[in-house]
Structure 1
């Protein structure tokens, strides 16, 4: 008997060869699935890139306020570069428990294609990325770009599998539609997240199973989201010093803290991603594009209920959001574009 509250696990080779069964994809992303697919047997450089990048965000959070201010961009609504205390929680209070570093990303296919266009007419990201200097965080940019490229390449393979599924289950579905629009997208972006350690004086009430104190219950606006497993690090004696070295993993102060999914049967399910794997979640644009054959997944992040030790344990992770360009029609019946769809979602959550 299939357990629909357990994440579906497949190998990268199954995606590369197209041998993943459509029933497996339906089990992961369909109307009765959990909405998440875990991919194992990744490229050999994945684990070192993950550890290195997730270590960087702890070091970055230790930079002086004036240095962090140089890495922020208010004009992009803090969706490029460093962001802290700019995002409102469902309570209406601004979230100071986590910081984020946002980067716009392009698929390697699109980068190569754009490189052949004269620079004076070449399209660019809506807001250019902000990068710390090599002196400040040596290797940060190259590590970020390399890991995001790896994840985007796998997202495109997942998209290809979704296209195969949609061709069988969605009337008049255009062959290769999802893979194409994600390959050509200039709106996909990554979010490197740092959940700050609890202060020893912080008092947080014990949470129930629906607690979404770290990130409120929501569905992603895009098509597919790639997620690394979280890295918990002990920042008790951490200082920003050069050269930087990857940090050692630590145990969470609360094993119940982390990523949760609201299942199709309204059960709350904690999802643990193995450190050597990637997880992929479905967003609302994918649900529209496939006419509901593949469903978006409601999820939230539960914060710790308290700290039993004086150790400063932080939680770091990376999410890559693959989404269409704003002018792409995501709902064929209504003609709604992705830009209109995200605007509607923003207005609902305002």
Structure 2
């Protein structure tokens, strides 16, 4: 489980569903066959995966693992570039540390996300914001996913897939109809999508091309680098056309949270392990 720290939100974050997978398979481990030694202390990180029956979703497990492997492979390359910067600019930074963390971790988590089409009756804070309005004290545009930071190191993100559920019918697997859903070329509203907050508090919309991956930094990396890399606050906006009715567009994406092993040190000065750091984060948002 990935514990996302909520920074600021004007509503309860209830418009998305999640399917989590532990990526220990990347390093040839299966937590259902060999329990993690700290499983009782950290069940949220070490629980074995529960996969759908192959007859219900044929090919799902193999496709999921293949895509996660591509994302982690790419994250290792990104981590190497972070290491080069850190080695040159942070006194005492251990050579190749982040690359080692990403490559060796059996706690990296994948989160398959489905953002439900909002209903017109969902009129919570932020839903009546003009589409081009910046974040203000009185209004929050994070209508599809509340503003938060990730607490791992690097988060790999796929491009979002938008599906109009008013046009596409989800057929039961028992009928044998496994035809793929038709994805929209773009969401119904140009303001729909992922937004990040820069260091100067500027809100920036992030568009990920269909054939690309994006990576953002989390709180563990911020601690590891002594604040040289900041955890990026981000949120997802549904867009006015989607929430005001007439469409039923859902958003789907995969996020892979690369994070250290529980015993890995994230704060060299204090000797804090990732397990200790995670307990602190969870207590903060309990």
Same fold, judged at TM 0.5 (above): yes
| Deviation readout 1:275-305 (Å, 9 max, x if unpaired) | 1110011111112112222222121222333
Q: Quick check: 1:240 aligned with 2:171?
A: yes
The whole-number CA distance in structure 2 between the counterparts of 1:228 and 1:202 is 27
Q: Secondary structure at the match of 1:174?
A: coil
The whole-number CA distance in structure 1 between the counterparts of 2:254 and 2:237 is 16
Q: Specify the alignment match of 1:183 in structure 2.
A: 103
Q: Specify the alignment match of 1:41 in structure 2.
A: none
| Deviation readout 1:70-123 (Å, 9 max, x if unpaired) | xxxxxxxxx39xxxxxx9x94574x43111111010363x21xx59xxx77987
Residue 202 of structure 1 and its aligned partner are, at CA, apart by: 4.5
Q: Quick check: 1:213 aligned with 2:143?
A: yes
Q: Specify the alignment match of 2:276 in structure 1.
A: 340
Q: Residues 23-62 of structure 1 correspond to what in structure 2 (within 5 A)? A: none
Q: Residues 59-74 of structure 1 correspond to what in structure 2 (within 5 A)? A: none
Counterpart of 1:231 (choices 161, 172, 192) is: 161
Counterpart of 2:255 (choices 309, 315, 319) is: 319
Residue 155 of structure 1 and its aligned partner are, at CA, apart by: 0.4
Structure 1, unmatched stretches of 5+, are: 1-78, 81-86
Residue 336 of structure 1 and its aligned partner are, at CA, apart by: 1.6
Q: Quick check: 1:97 aligned with 2:15?
A: yes
Determine if contact 2:23/2:107 at 8 Å carries over to the other structure: yes
| Deviation readout 1:246-289 (Å, 9 max, x if unpaired) | 32222323221211111111111111111111001111111211
Q: Secondary structure at the match of 1:135?
A: coil
Structure 2, unmatched stretches of 5+, are: 40-44, 136-140
What TM-score results when the alignment is normalised by the length of structure 2? 0.81
Q: Specify the alignment match of 2:42 in structure 1.
A: none
The whole-number CA distance in structure 2 between the counterparts of 1:235 and 1:325 is 39
Residue 245 of structure 1 and its aligned partner are, at CA, apart by: 2.8
Residue 344 of structure 1 and its aligned partner are, at CA, apart by: 1.9
The whole-number CA distance in structure 2 between the counterparts of 1:176 and 1:107 is 23
Alpha-carbon RMSD: 2.6
Q: Residues 196-211 of structure 1 correspond to what in structure 2 (within 5 A)? A: 196-199=116-119, 202-203=122-123, 205-207=127-129, 208-210=133-135, 211=141
Farther-moved stretch of structure 1 (142-151 vs 231-240): 231-240
Determine if contact 2:241/2:247 at 8 Å carries over to the other structure: no
The whole-number CA distance in structure 1 between the counterparts of 2:97 and 2:54 is 39
Q: Secondary structure at the match of 2:114?
A: strand
Q: Specify the alignment match of 2:112 in structure 1.
A: 192
Q: Quick check: 1:286 aligned with 2:221?
A: yes
Counterpart of 2:237 (choices 298, 302, 317) is: 302
Provide closer, same or farther for how the CA distance between residues 122 and 198 of structure 1 changes in structure 2, counting only shifts above 3 A: closer
Determine if contact 1:107/1:152 at 8 Å carries over to the other structure: no
| Deviation readout 1:151-173 (Å, 9 max, x if unpaired) | 01100111111112211111122
Higher RCO (CA 8 Å, separation ≥ 6 residues): 2
| Deviation readout 1:169-189 (Å, 9 max, x if unpaired) | 111222211111222212110
Q: Residues 137-152 of structure 1 correspond to what in structure 2 (within 5 A)? A: 137-152=57-72
Q: Specify the alignment match of 2:265 in structure 1.
A: 329
How many residues of Structure 1 are paired with residues of Structure 2 in the alignment? 258
Q: Secondary structure at the match of 2:204?
A: strand
